[in-house]
Structure 1
Amino acid sequence: MFPDDGFRELARHECLRLMAKAPVGRIVYTRQALPAVSPVNFSLEADGAVVLRAPAALDLARAVDGAVVAFEADDVDTARQSGWSVVITGSATVVTDPAEHDGLTRTGPVSWAPASEEVFIRIEPELVTGRELLGGRAGYGVDHGPRWFPGPPGSCAAC
């Protein structure tokens, strides 16, 4: 039986398991008092903390250090109209401890855009939420009805 809206809420452990498989996510933060979103590669620690590696010169590190941010990862299968989305919300901090920084250099995420000087940003998971789309409309056995063509209103394959 599908929920009425076709989505299933995911438990925390399911969210973390799925997010650990995603190669790229998006950090949502505030830049100049406006919402900003940046795609980044990341790693997930055992406690659910998200670790990002970014060029030190990038404004991202300054913008998020000490701020509450959201981090989202997802996977979508357009053919099956299914997928999932997980959001971790929490405080972000730039890793300043030299020993921890050195450890993350060996075990943390590898930057897809390396720079001569990089910083690590950790997001502590205060809220972990996720939803799974259960097979889209096909999962409901719904008749999709006529197919609409781009063009003037009222033009459709069944007309």
Structure 2
Amino acid sequence: MQWENGLRQLDRQECLRFLTLVPIGRIVYTHEALPAVLPVNFSLDQDHAVVLRTSALSRMAHAVDGAVVAFEADSFDEAAQSGWSVIVIGRATLVTDRGEQERLRAVGLRSWVDVAEDAFIRIAPELVAGRLLKGHPHGGDERGRASLADVP
């Protein structure tokens, strides 16, 4: 693949490899006819599906079952001005088979909050795309760096 303006498109295999490098991504779905985005921990399953573990009572779990969703994960190095971003688009389904739920529990994917009843959501990777960013040779933009103390 070729670099253009510091960006290079990633092929599907590269995208899937990059997804194994980070534990957090974002799911984008529709909730009550509006876009919703949530950070989630995730894992890739044997068939390269994105798998999330959440509360069975969560609004997100019910909103995404059977729906087409987007999932995005990335990693950036601000100092080097480089990084990558991968997007997976596909149909999300709640995993209802008890045997499959036990197998996914054994993989070690855990919810970050304690839940009384968990649910696994699988996103089939129908479209997988990504970009790799190479740092600019002359440094970053000229905007000043704000700190949290500067926020009103």
TM-score range, shorter chain: 0.7 to 0.9
Report the Cα distance in structure 2 between the residues aligned to 1:120 and 1:149, rounded to whole angstroms: 43
Per the alignment, in what secondary structure is the counterpart of residue 99 of structure 1?
Answer: helix
Please say which structure displays the higher CA radius of gyration: 1
Residues 103-142 of structure 1 aligned to structure 2 (within 5 Å): 103-135=103-135, 137-138=136-137, 142=138
Report the Cα distance in structure 1 between the residues aligned to 2:31 and 2:140, rounded to whole angstroms: 42
**Cross-structure match for 2:66:** 66
Residues 91-110 of structure 1 aligned to structure 2 (within 5 Å): 91-110=91-110
**Cross-structure match for 2:83:** 83
1:5 aligned to 2:5?
Answer: yes
RMSD over aligned Cα atoms = 1.9
Shift, 1:25, TM fit: 0.4
Ranges in structure 2 where 5+ consecutive residues have no aligned partner:
146-152
Report the Cα distance in structure 2 between the residues aligned to 1:148 and 1:108, rounded to whole angstroms: 42
Ranges in structure 1 where 5+ consecutive residues have no aligned partner:
151-159
Could you state the TM-score of these two structures normalised by the residue count of structure 2?
0.88
> Runs in 1 of length 4+ with deviation above 2 angstroms?
2-5, 142-145, 147-150
Q: Structure 1 vs Structure 2: percent identity of aligned residues? A: 54
CA distance 1:148–1:120, change in 2 (3 Å): closer
